[in-house]
Structure 1
Amino acid sequence: VQYCFENINGSCYKTPWSSGIRITSYVVLGFLTILTLGGNLMVMISIAYFKQLHSPTNFLIASLACADFCLGLTVLPFSSIRSVETCWYFGETFCRFHSCLDASFCYSSIFHLCFISVDRYVAVTDPLIYPIKFTVPVSGIFIAIAWTFSLVYSFSVIFIGANDKGIQELVNALSCVGSCQLVFNKTWVVVSSLLYFIPFFTMIALYSKIFAVAKRQARMIEIMSNKTQSSDNYSDRVGRRERKAAKTLGIAVIAFLVCWSPFFISVIIDAFLNFITPPLVFDMIVWFTYSNSAINPLIYSLFYPWFRKAMKVIVSCKMFWLDCSTMNLF
């Protein structure tokens, strides 16, 4: 039996992984961390540098990238060590602070995704007055709400210990020196889950309406421009348009659902069934959730040609000796 701290009574047990498993785990988790940092940093630099990208929608995307970048910079490195070593070596106070940052950036990412869906809904369903409704100040209000609420909620609940009130006996039974596992009582589990499910169902509803409008517009365009074509060719073209719209609009919702749902389902089950999820399984679920921060740049940026063009300029370092900030990216 190995302990996290050999000379301290009440130390947690340490899982003795083989060298091959530890090295492989560090490589995989390190790659995910670097992908999260690099992808989101590229998004932030692109939108901040190129003036043509200064729009309300892109400011939301840049703020989303900032939340995911902060998660990769301040949370994932310490979580990687905890996962591979199966011990927390950074103290109880920093454990609380680390958990607060973790929750803050994750909830901020969720709210940004929800606000982006609101932005896209207004743009598609009401394109004529969209520039009047969704301005830079409105985008700034959404960004401020996402950041302020996430930070205030996370620090007020976790850092002061409100999350484990009423279950002190269970906390004492599960706690040991070298552990950094937060336990939530049923009340805060329900509240935290609602902060996930409400944005999720909002995104589902909005993207469903967006898809319906896009499908209707695709049919109208085909009818107006291809009246002389055969009905078979017309049906094929409309079908391709609808599938493309479904893929583009649904990929964000699917990624969000796949990455986040297992975590909140596990948390709810643990709260009401006395934490039956094995630690290793729960840790894998947490990292699966973290992967959404690495996927976000691919979904909201790499699918846009302007981002690929901006990335080539940044990677080639042309921005340092040429005035590329006003170049045409579209």
Structure 2
Amino acid sequence: MIILIILGNIFNICVLLYNSNLRNVTGSFMVALSCADLGLGLFGLPFMVRPAMEGRWVYSKASCDFCGFISTTLIITSVLLLFDLSVDRYIWIAKPVKHYKIMTEKRCGVMIGSSWVVAAVYSATPFFGWGSFVYNYKMCTCTLGIFTDIYFGSVFFVISLPPIFVMCFLNLMILRIARKQSRTIRHSNQVPRTFPVTSFKPAMTVGIVVITCVVSLLPLICSYTYSMFTEYDLPADLVFAFTFLLISNSFWNCIIYSSTNASFRQGAKKFVLRPSQEA
């Protein structure tokens, strides 16, 4: 899975940067999301391999702190970037005429930068005395102790859960607008001037990515939350399965985007065939 995550996201980044028609606001969010997933594959997940085989943390305390910091930062960043993507697609569908005025490159950069900063600042708080990094033998990795300190954990939920609910709501609104416009076209056989016909498929791609993220993230969060309030000891195999589901999301993003976005597929073909074309 680590190898697939690394190779898949490197390929995505190369395709997005190589094709000028993909270097737009949405493409910027996708590059940032791929960078977060790539960082998790390079710097977070490799620390899980030996502990998973030996059943204990085999590295230093400093390595545990680094692993907990980088993994949490990148996971939260991915959630916030998906929120940014959902906002961008909703504005493009709901207000297509004003989209370019609202979602400027500068505003896009601020949103991406804010997502990284918020995630990094929260994840770094144990270095300043609030919270801690702990080795979770069921997950086979070091994580933030969000389920051992209720106040510290509450901040995690405040940062992560509202964006998840909001982006789910935005994608439902996009679906609602799409259905409404489809009925209008079907009954009148005319396309409204403000109707971005070619934009619903990219928007649906973002929606599928969001749904996959929610499905990957919520089982682990819900099970640990239930365990914390009921003092139920979760089975180790179940926790590891939920953890694997969460980290696999960094690979499924590559598959979903490449298989459902026609512009990306064309760009990928252009990128792959580039050496032969140049020859």
Calculate the TM-score normalised by the size of structure 2: 0.85
Letter in 2 for 1:194: V
Secondary structure of residue in 2 paired with 1:75? helix
Q: Does 1:146 align with 2:146?
A: no
* Deviation string, structure 1 residues 66-102 (Cα, Å, up to 9, x no partner): 0001001111111122223222211111101111000
Counterpart position of 2:10: 41
Letter in 2 for 1:60: F
Secondary structure of residue in 1 paired with 2:175? helix
Counterpart position of 2:131: 163
Counterpart position of 2:245: 288
* Structure-2 change in CA distance of 1:132 and 1:181 (3 Å): closer
Aligned 8 A contact 1:189 1:268 in 2: no
Calculate the TM-score normalised by the size of structure 1: 0.72
Counterpart position of 2:278: 322
1:164, distance to aligned residue in structure 2 (A): 4.8
Q: Distance in 1 between matches of 2:75 and 2:143?
A: 17
Correspondences of 1:1-330 after superposition (within 5 Å): 32-156=1-125, 158-160=126-128, 162-164=130-132, 180=142, 183=145, 184-225=148-189, 250-274=207-231, 276-316=233-273, 318=275, 322=278
Letter in 2 for 1:295: W
- Percent identity reads 28
Q: Distance in 2 between matches of 1:310 and 1:179?
A: 37
Q: Distance in 1 between matches of 2:273 and 2:246?
A: 32
* Structure-2 change in CA distance of 1:159 and 1:268 (3 Å): farther
1:298, distance to aligned residue in structure 2 (A): 2.2
Q: Deviation above 6 Å: which 4+ runs of structure 1?
A: 244-247
Unaligned stretches of 5+ residues in structure 1: 1-31, 166-170, 227-243, 324-330
What is the number of residues matched between the two proteins?
265
Aligned 8 A contact 1:185 1:271 in 2: no
Q: Distance in 2 between matches of 1:65 and 1:290?
A: 13
Counterpart position of 1:328: none
Q: Distance in 2 between matches of 1:284 and 1:161?
A: 31
1:181, distance to aligned residue in structure 2 (A): 5.9
* Structure-2 change in CA distance of 1:289 and 1:50 (3 Å): same
Q: Distance in 1 between matches of 2:245 and 2:88?
A: 27
Letter in 1 for 2:252: I
Q: Distance in 2 between matches of 1:189 and 1:50?
A: 41
Q: Distance in 2 between matches of 1:194 and 1:300?
A: 28
* Structure-2 change in CA distance of 1:269 and 1:284 (3 Å): same
1:207, distance to aligned residue in structure 2 (A): 1.0
Unaligned stretches of 5+ residues in structure 2: 191-200
Q: Distance in 1 between matches of 2:162 and 2:63?
A: 30
Q: Distance in 2 between matches of 1:291 and 1:82?
A: 18
Q: Distance in 2 between matches of 1:61 and 1:198?
A: 21
- RMSD over equivalenced CA pairs, Å: 2.9
Q: Distance in 2 between matches of 1:272 and 1:68?
A: 31
Aligned 8 A contact 1:301 1:307 in 2: yes
Aligned 8 A contact 2:18 2:271 in 1: no
Aligned 8 A contact 1:95 1:180 in 2: yes
Q: Distance in 2 between matches of 1:34 and 1:269?
A: 33
Secondary structure of residue in 2 paired with 1:163? coil
Letter in 2 for 1:223: H
Q: Distance in 2 between matches of 1:191 and 1:252?
A: 25
Q: Distance in 2 between matches of 1:72 and 1:105?
A: 10
